[in-house]
Structure 1
Amino acid sequence: MNKGNALDYIKNNNIIGIKAGNQRHEFLEIWMVVVQNRIFARSWGLAERSWYNTFLEESAGEIQCGKTIYPIQAVIPEDINNLTEEINQAYLTKYNTGHNIPYSRGIVQEKHVVRTMEFIILD
């Protein structure tokens, strides 16, 4: 599996499939960004049964980039405070058209920023 291919896909596509934990059978489509060659996502929905909360309990999962599926580990980045502005800017830049604009402006608000997760592709 090639991490570079996944990074390129995420950089160039707005919707990425994610499967949190081992109990889910279908991929959920979410926004992801790449910052410093690392993959990040923020939870939009604040529901108890969200992909974010599932990953807090079980860090294993998968991301789907086109037809390729990558096993991942989800983590809360230790350096999140240093990366927050860069991640914010990545969201505002990537999702800057049409109906995405209100959501990209929303996802940089504190209630979503605190729900930032990093996805590490496993070899």
Structure 2
Amino acid sequence: MNKDNVLDYINNNNLIGIKAGNQRPDFLEIWMVTIQNRIFARSWGLAEKSWYNTFLKCSAGQIKCNDVVYTITAVIPEDIAELTDEINKAYLTKYNSGKNRKYATGIIETQHIEKTMEFVIGDEK
């Protein structure tokens, strides 16, 4: 496993495949950002059956970078208060163009900030 490859992939691609928990059969494509060599995502839809709520019940999951799948553990960052401004800037920098602009400014609102999750890379599958 090469964490640098994962970080590079996330930094250079808008949509990253994710599976939350152990029950989902398919990857869902979501926005992810990196700061301080860490990976973060925020829930947009806020639905009961969202990837975010699934991870709250079971922290195990996977992300897909091209054809390589990595196991992840999802955690609520303990230092989220200190990281929020930097995560906001990362979203605005990466996604603030064209049709993404509306969502980039939305994802830095309080209701989405409260749904921030960090993904810790495990093994390559």
TM-score bin, normalised by smaller chain: over 0.9
- Tell me the equivalent position of 2:101: 101
Partner amino acid for 1:41?
Answer: A
Q: Tell me the distance in 2 between the aligned counterparts of 1:28 and 1:21.
A: 12
- Matched residue type, 1:108: I
Structure 2: give runs of 5+ residues left out of the alignment: none
Give the TM-score normalised by structure 1.
0.99
- Give per-residue Cα distances to partners, 1:79-119, cap 9 Å, x unaligned: 00000000000000000110000000000000000000000
Residues of 2 paired with 1:5 and 1:55: CA distance? 24
Query: Aligned partners of 1:6, 1:119: CA distance in 2, in Å?
Result: 11
Q: Which residues in structure 2 correspond to 1:64-75 (within 5 Å)? A: 64-75=64-75
The match for 2:11 is 11
Calculate the aligned-residue CA RMSD, in Å. Answer: 0.5
* Distance in 2 separating the partners of 1:82 and 1:29: 27
Q: Which runs of 5 or more residues in structure 1 are unaligned?
A: none
SS in 2 for 1:41: strand
1:23, 1:53 → 2: CA distance?
13
1:84 counterpart letter in structure 2: T
Q: Give the TM-score normalised by the residue count of structure 2.
A: 0.97
Q: Does 1:54 align with 2:54?
A: yes
Distance 1:18 1:82 in 2: 25
